[in-house]
Amino acid sequence: MSRKNKLLMDAGVYSIASILTQAVTLLAAILTRRFLGPTQMGIWSLLQVILVYSAYTGLGVSEAISREIPYYRGQGDERTAKEIKDVIFTFSLLTTFALSAAVMVYALWKADDLRPEVFFGLLFTAVLVILQKISNLNIAFLRGYKFFSLASKQMILSSIVNALLVAFLSMRNKIYGFLWAMCLSFIFNIVYISAHHRFGFRWNMNWKRTWALIEYGFPLMVVGLMGTVFLTIDKLMIAKFLGFKELGIYSVAILTYTYLVTVPNAIGIVLIPNLHEKFGESKEVGDLKEYLEKSCGVFGEIMPLLIAGGWFFIPYFARWVLPDYLESIEPMRTLILSSYFLALTQPHSYFIAVIRKQILLLPVISIACFLAFTANLWTIKHGYGILGVSAATTLVVFIRYAATYFLASKYLCTVREAWQGFFVKIARFILMLAMLLVLKSLFPGAERSFVKSVAQWGMFAVASLPFLLRLNKEVGFLSVVRAHWASGVFVKKGEDGV
């Protein structure tokens, strides 16, 4: 199978698995919000911030999983790739144990000042950060070694197990049952992956190799950390200035946004090791241009369809399933617009990291964080609430995309070509937004009618059909699917061993 076809198949299969996973996760999230209520949901959202930031305790060494390992494997250097794997495993666990101890000490120190749900939540979180790290390392190695078939199966089964555990345990025990469900879910991931593929981890404290990985990965980690700050700063500011209830209501907007970015995230997971492997083989920047253009083309046409689905279907389902969260509808519609620009940002960020210019991403994300904080604070202080926060976030995501796009274009094309490509993507966004607003005005009361919601999305999809047909002509995804379907081998096995 050619590299292009393998990439398309892996991206397609992994994206479908991600969508199915997120569908199950969405169901679990809805049940969680019904069982916990806005206040306890707000507490979990705050605890979740610790889990998110725990990913950065390794000082960037885990960035090598999807970057340095494929790079050396592309050069045929399996020995170095194996050594990197063991060093990452060892260093990541040691730093995670340190964070877990710190969280537990803080909880015990502040026990008298914390409400019970927060105190016990922190104790659970101290355990969760360890289980999450081991689980995430196993999953990351599956992706880094391009075992996307097994990774897809694990992802779907994990979401089903998590949904069942959440539904069963949180229904009666509220947030405490939910926290137990999260622990058991991570344990399932670890056991399932170990049962199907053993990476043979060995403790290896090679400080020279560790330091080399930190030198490479630390800038990427800082970029990722600041990216996390950028994506969570709205949560933190809402919790600080508006309260847990408002944060719980806003969580519906975040939930929808998270679901929509599943596709670009999944494609990115497949794209990253392929980019690094290709660059390891040829060392030619120009060889990556086609990857970048086609991935951006896919995002530019797929994201409008997903955003339209959120615009037209979520209000209907929220009215029947989450009536306590209806205030989140308009903030949700505003926030998910930013997923268009976030999807387009990703390939350009990956490209900059592949060519070893990741340090240039630091000023971009630093300015974006400052703008996000300033814009969110301004909207909150002027009484615009969570709707203002969502609008400010979308605006800053666009600014971040523009900066990253032109930074990457500097190494790929002329200034004129860069501006032409930029205006094409902006025009597509404006067209998408105009279609959404027109269809919303043409179907008043669609939030109460499933038929009207389907009609809205269907008309949007029909109007988008010419763009999709052009995309298929350029990428050729359907021809690849037909060829493999006809051969009776839709997902080809025989992935390389470790």
Helix, strand, or coil (residue 115): coil
Reported as a pLDDT band with limits 50, 70 and 90, residue 400 is very high
Identify the residue whose tokens are 């050729």. Answer: 476
Q: What is the DSSP string of 135-170?
A: HHHHHHHHHHTT-HHHHHHHHHHHHHHHHHHHHHHH
Residue 63, CB half-sphere, CA atoms under 13 Å: how many?
26
Q: Which residues contact 70 (CB under 8 A, 6 or more apart)?
A: 144, 146, 272, 273, 274, 276, 277, 280
In the DSSP assignment, the letter for residue 114 is: S
Phi-psi region of 119 (alpha: psi -120 to 50; beta: other; left: phi over 0): alpha
Name which residue leads in pLDDT, 473 or 120.
120
> What gap in Å lies between CA 131 and CA 142, rounded to an integer?
17
Query: pLDDT by residue (tens digit) across 260-270?
Result: 887 777 776 66
Query: pLDDT by residue (tens digit) across 297-326?
Result: 888 888 999 999 989 988 888 787 777 777
Query: pLDDT by residue (tens digit) across 349-364?
Result: 888 877 778 788 888 9
Please give the model's pTM, rounded to 2 decimal places.
Answer: 0.68
> What gap in Å lies between CA 143 and CA 273, rounded to an integer?
8
495, burial (CB in 10 Å: exposed 0-12, middle 13-18, buried 19+): middle
> What gap in Å lies between CA 22 and CA 181, rounded to an integer?
17
pLDDT of 35 strictly over 70: no
Indicate the domain borders of the chain.
3-199+213-485
**Rounded to the nearest 5°, which phi and psi values hold at 405?**
-60, -50
State which amino acid sits at residue 114.
L
382, burial (CB in 10 Å: exposed 0-12, middle 13-18, buried 19+): exposed
Q: Which residues contact 139 (CB under 8 A, 6 or more apart)?
A: 151, 154, 155, 189, 193
